[in-house]
């Protein structure tokens, strides 16, 4: 298993540009999520999905869109990049062991995004 993969690893954007961060997992996990990591602030949830066709907002959703057309893929779109979106982005997935509770999260390697 490749686990959770993310592309690209690094990206530099200019203010106003748009782009999509890719995330894929091959573990057949229902739950997927996107986080951003900023110094001194830990991981903050951007958007999450509990299954194909279902997405919802997390703590910091503004400026980002997501979709979940398949179980495997969960892309994150930046609509119009701003310097405040400079961060490291992590995608994660986890399983539901038959209940509402989720199992441990598996994280991708991260995407380091700089917006100038």
Partner 1 sequence: ILNVEQSPQSLHVQEGDSTNFTCSFPSSNFYALHWYRWETAKSPEALFVMTLNGDEKKKGRISATLNTKEGYSYLYIKGSQPEDSATYLCALDNYGQNFVFGPGTRLSVLP
Instruction: Kindly list the residues in this chain that would bind partner 1 in the complex (CB under 8 A).
Output: 33, 35, 40-45, 48, 50, 56, 58-59, 90, 99-110
Exposure pattern of 25-55 as b/e (b: 16+ CB <10 Å)?
A: beeebbbbbbbbeeeeeebebbbbbbebeeb
Nearer CB in complex with partner 1: 24/81: 24
Nearest approach, Cβ of 48 to partner 1 (angstroms)? 5
**Helix (H, G, I), strand (E, B), or coil: what is residue 84?**
helix
Q: Are 64 and 49 a contacting pair, CB within 8 Å?
A: no
Nearer CB in complex with partner 1: 12/41: 41
Nearest approach, Cβ of 36 to partner 1 (angstroms)? 11
Nearest approach, Cβ of 100 to partner 1 (angstroms)? 6
Nearest approach, Cβ of 116 to partner 1 (angstroms)? 23
Nearer CB in complex with partner 1: 14/104: 104
Nearest to 79 by CA among 23, 21, 35, 18: 18
- Rounded distance, CA 4 to CA 1, Å? 9
Nearer CB in complex with partner 1: 48/81: 48
């Amino acid at each position: 298993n490749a686990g959770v993969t993310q592309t690209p690893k690094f990206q530099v954007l200019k203010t106003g540009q748009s782009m999509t961060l890719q995330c894929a997992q091959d573990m057949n996990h229902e739950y997927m999520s996107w986080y951003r990591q900023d110094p001194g602030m830990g991981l903050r949830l951007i958007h999450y999905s509990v299954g194909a066709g279902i997405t919802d907002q997390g703590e910091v959703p503004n400026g980002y869109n997501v979709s979940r057309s398949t179980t495997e893929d969960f892309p994150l779109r930046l609509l119009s990049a701003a310097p405040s979106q400079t961060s490291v982005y992590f995608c994660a997935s986890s399983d539901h062991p038959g209940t509402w509770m989720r199992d441990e999260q598996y994280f991708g390697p991260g995407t380091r995004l700089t917006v100038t």
